[in-house]
Amino acid sequence: MVEPTIQTMKEIGYKRAMVFHGLNEDGSRGMDELSPLGENFVAELFEDGKIITYILLPEEAGIHSRPAEQEILSQSDQQEEALRLLRIFAGNDTGGRYDTICLNAAPIFYVADEARSLKEGFEKARETIDSGQAMDKLREWVETQNCDTEAGRRKLESLLEKF
């Protein structure tokens, strides 16, 4: 499942990488990210070219209680999805979606050698959100990625006023 992708990444020159396939609680559905609901198949490429594969349970990466599947499913309404993310970044939601975001940010810190494990990466992601750094970075992106910086800033602030 994850081996062909990590092997391809190695062949095209990646030095360090991870690939995931997460499952829901009963294993009947999968996703191309780490799942807080069930087993995760992981392939990891190291700088020396070695590849290892393993199964990671959410608890091993820092999830203390698994969320209900309905809690983390995305909605079809893009604005509502944006608001859900902003609630997390603003510190107004520390439930299952918060844990899912932290779980999937953990490998970024780990692969970048800013964390020694996925669990440490999970904690670093929590600290980044809880300290306001994630919201600060989002504001920075809004300002640098919009053709009309002021309009982008106003849109973000109007969304934040909704909660």
pLDDT at 77 (0 to 100): 87
3 lies in the same domain as 42: yes
For residue 63, being part of any structural domain is answered with: no
Q: Which of 126, 117, 66 is nearest to 94 (CA)?
A: 126
In this prediction, residue 27 has a pLDDT band, given cuts at 50, 70 and 90, of very high
**Confidence at 58, pLDDT banded by 50, 70, 90:** very high
User: What's the pLDDT score for residue 32?
Assistant: 93
Asked if residue 157 belongs to a domain, the reply is yes
* Average pLDDT, integer, range 56-79: 89
pLDDT higher than threshold 90 for residue 21 = yes
Same-domain pairing of 103 and 159 = yes
**Spatial contact of 72 and 136, defined as CB atoms under 8 Å apart:** no
pLDDT tens digits, residue range 102-158? 999 999 999 999 999 999 999 999 999 999 999 999 999 999 999 999 999 999 999
CA distance 1 to 61: 21
Q: Is 20 helix (H, G, I), strand (E, B) or coil?
A: strand
Q: What is the mean pLDDT of the chain?
A: 94
Do 97 and 162 lie in a common domain? Answer: yes
pTM above 0.85, yes or no: yes
pLDDT tens readout for residues 71-94? 888 878 888 899 999 999 999 999
Any domain includes 135: yes
> Which residue would you say has higher pLDDT here, 7 or 75?
7
Residue 129 burial (CB count, 10 A): 19
Question: In sequence order, what are the residues at sequence separation of 6 or more whose Cβ sits closer than 8 angstroms to the Cβ of residue 79?
Answer: 159
Please give the residue that has the higher pLDDT: either 66 or 129.
129
The 10 Å Cβ neighbour count of residue 31 is 14
Q: So what's the pLDDT on residue 162?
A: 85
Number of domains in the chain: 2
CA distances from 99 to 30, 86, 161 (A): 18, 14, 24
Q: Quick one: 13 and 85 in the same domain?
A: no
| Separation in Å, CA 127 to CA 92, 134, 148 | 15, 9, 31
- pLDDT for the residue numbered 37: 96
Range of the domain at 12: 1-56
**Does residue 65 lie within any of the structural domains?**
no
Please enumerate, as own/partner, the contacts of 70-79 that have beta carbons within 8 Å and a separation of 24 or more: 71/95, 71/96, 71/97, 72/36, 72/37, 72/96, 72/97, 72/100, 79/159
